[in-house]
Chains A and B, each alone.
Chain A
Amino acid sequence: NAGVTQTPKFRVLKTGQSMTLLCAQDMNHEYMYWYRQDPGMGLRLIHYSVGEGTTAKGEVPDGYNVSRLKKQNFLLGLESAAPSQTSVYFCASSYSNLKQIGDNNEQFFGPGTRLTVL
């Protein structure tokens, strides 16, 4: 199993350009997440999905859109990139997100995408 993969690994954009980050998982996980990581701020949740065809906003959703057309893929889009979106983006997935005693809530992370917006 490849686990969680992300493409691309690196990208440089100019202000106003658009791009899509792809996350794929082969663990048949229901739940997927997009985070951004900035120095001194930990990981902040952008959007997440609790199943194919569903998405929800996280802490910092502005300027991003997502889609979950297939269970194994979770796409993060930037329609008009801004320098404030320069960051490292991580995708994660988990098997169960239910509020149940003993459920396995571990999130598995991809290797990250380093994005620079000039």
Chain B
Amino acid sequence: AQSVTQLGSHVSVSEGALVLLRCNYSSSVPPYLFWYVQYPNQGLQLLLKYTTGATLVKGINGFEAEFKKSETSFHLTKPSAHMSDAAEYFCAVRTYGKYGNKLVFGAGTILRVKS
């Protein structure tokens, strides 16, 4: 069965500093991996996804993630944090079920950006 672990429920960085949010996955098949962002009182918005092909995936708002099969990781990074990046971030892996595919989400990481 597929699963996702996000290391660190809270991450705090200074404005302009590197953002690194960690995600490790477990999958018995080649994974499809996703990062979603949730701003306060809003739904989830797709940041980026990895399906096949290039292992470095670029997303919106300057975020990118690298799929590393040997480490079973899909960490999210951004070179320079902005105050508007403060939000909760969810990593997800696609699972394959009897009635179709589903997403399994990690517990989420709240990113705080200090001025």
A binds B: yes
CB contact under 8 A between A90 and B44, given known A41-B107, A102-B51, A105-B94 = yes
Pick from B14-22, B75-83, B98-106 the stretch touching chain A.
B98-106
Is A109 on the interface with B (CB-CB < 8 A)? yes
Q: In this assembly, does B70 line the interface, its C-beta being within 8 Å of a C-beta of chain A?
A: no
Per-residue 0/1 for B27-48: is the Cβ within 8 Å of any A Cβ (1 yes, 0 no)? 0000010101000011111100
Query: What residues on B are CB-neighbors of A74 within 8 Å?
Result: none
Contact B32 A105 (CB under 8 A): yes
Given A42-B105, A48-B100, A107-B103, are A112 and B90 also a contact pair (CB < 8 Å)?
no
Nearest-CB distance from B107 to chain A (Å)? 5
Instruction: Name the CB-closest residue of A to B45.
Output: A109
> If A42-B106, A42-B107 touch, does A56 touch B90 (CB 8 Å cutoff)?
no
Note all chain A residues with C-beta closer than 8 A to B96: 99
B contact residues, range: 20 to 34
Is the Cβ of A50 less than 8 Å from the Cβ of B99?
Answer: yes
* The residue from A99, A101, A109, A110 contacting B101, defined by CB atoms under 8 A apart: A99
Q: Is A43 touching B101 in the complex (CB atoms < 8 A)?
A: no
Complex CA distance for A54 and B99, rounded to whole angstroms: 10
Q: Which chain A residues border B32 with CB–CB below 8 Å?
A: 105
Residue-wise interface mask of A (78-108) relative to B, using a CB-CB cutoff of 8 A (1 in contact, 0 not): 0000000000001010000111011001110
Q: Least Cβ distance of B39 to chain A in Å? A: 11
A58 at the interface (CB under 8 A from B): yes
Residue B52, interface by CB 8 Å:
yes
A58 contact set on B, CB distance < 8 A: 102
CB closest residue in chain A, given B32: A105
15 A-B pairs within 8 Å (CB atoms) are namely: A33-B102, A43-B105, A45-B103, A50-B100, A56-B98, A90-B43, A98-B101, A99-B96, A101-B51, A101-B52, A102-B51, A102-B52, A105-B94, A110-B43, A112-B41
